[in-house]
A and B are shown apart, each in its own frame.
Chain A
Amino acid sequence: MKKENTNHTDEKLGALLRESRVSPALPPRFQENVWRRIEDAEAPAKSGSGIAWLEALVALMLRPRFACATVAALMVCGILLGAHSGAQIARHDAEARYVASVSPDSVR
């Protein structure tokens, strides 16, 4: 009997509390402001996307394995191209030396 009375009182109290809860009016242009704040929060991420790929590239470049491979590739390419050019120079010099030996400038 006593328990029933207590439950009843709790329900009444709960209803009273729900009614007494004040729901304040939203400030003017609340929705617009919310969207603006969301856009502002996303904006730096968009403008920073150019730096993001550069950061990723730099991070890749600074990886020891990638850096070593790149240096090795650059050296090999440089030496091969240089050797090709050196061979051309040597060939040209040898030709000039032979021509000078058989045909001095005074004759030409």
Chain B
Amino acid sequence: MNRPLVIFLGVLVLGAAIFTGSYFAGERACANMMGGKDDLSWLQTEFHLSDTEMARVRQLHEGYLPQCMKMCAKIAAKKDEIAAALANGTNVTAEVQMKLTELGELRAQCQAQMLQHFVDVSRAMPPEEGRRYLAEMERITIGFDGDEQTMSPSAHGNN
């Protein structure tokens, strides 16, 4: 290989290394700088909330967390009960079915409580941002974005 070509390829490799290094350095620095520890930081930046609105949202959030934790503890306890009932036999017994129903009810209660919280938070935001927040949270947590179509009978086939 001739010398100019070797130098040219060397320069290209060096340039690529400089660009890649700068890219990852910038990415890490920016992610570290913008990624705070506050769970609610996303709300303020994404939905352009003022400090007053943010204070109200924070109050709602702190009021909701103990209820959420209580429901989570109930769900976890019910799951443990189901695991214990399943461990005792090889069949889905009436007891297991009853506990599964109870688990479903607990999840439904928890989701209803969560949705109510989202509604409350959306009301603490400017109307347009509130609507956007509610739609986004329903999409993320309940899956109101058409994901359930994959669970439809037609998707499973009729055989």
Contacts and interface: CB of A to CB of B under 8 A. Distances in A.
A and B from one complex: yes
B133 to A, nearest CB: 11
A94 B29 CA distance: 16
A78 B46 contact: no
Contacts of A70: 15
Contacts of A77: 19, 22
Interface in B34-65: 34-36, 39-43, 45-46, 61, 64-65
B29 to A, nearest CB: 7
Contacts of B40: 98
B21 interface: yes
A61 B30 contact: no
A97 B39 contact: yes
A87 to B, nearest CB: 5
Interface of B: 2, 4-5, 7-8, 11, 15, 18-36, 39-43, 45-46, 61, 64-65, 68, 71-72, 75-76, 79, 107, 110-111, 114, 117-118, 137, 140-143
Top 7 nearest A-B pairs (CB, nearest first) are A82-B26, A78-B22, A86-B30, A94-B42, A90-B34, A79-B26, A82-B27
